[in-house]
Amino acid sequence: MQSLNLEPQITLDDQHGDFKWFDLAVVSNDEKFHPYMRNYASWLLNKIGDTDD
């Protein structure tokens, strides 16, 4: 399995003044996040845990 400890370098632009990293488990379970983002975070967590790929 690949290490997910490295964060990509992101360049801010006029539309995005800052960025914040969130734990996928937090995003998938917290209603303050948009439902589409919560579903995507849950899907990613399932894919990370799937060793059959």
Neighbours of 17 (CB within 10 A): 7
Are 11 and 28 a contacting pair, CB within 8 Å?
Answer: no
Report, as an integer, the average pLDDT of 25-30: 96
- What is the reported pLDDT for 34? 96
| CA 17 – CA 21 distance, rounded (Å) | 14
Please give the model's pTM, rounded to 2 decimal places: 0.64
Number of H helices, E strands in the chain: 2, 0
- Mean pLDDT, the chain, whole residue set: 85
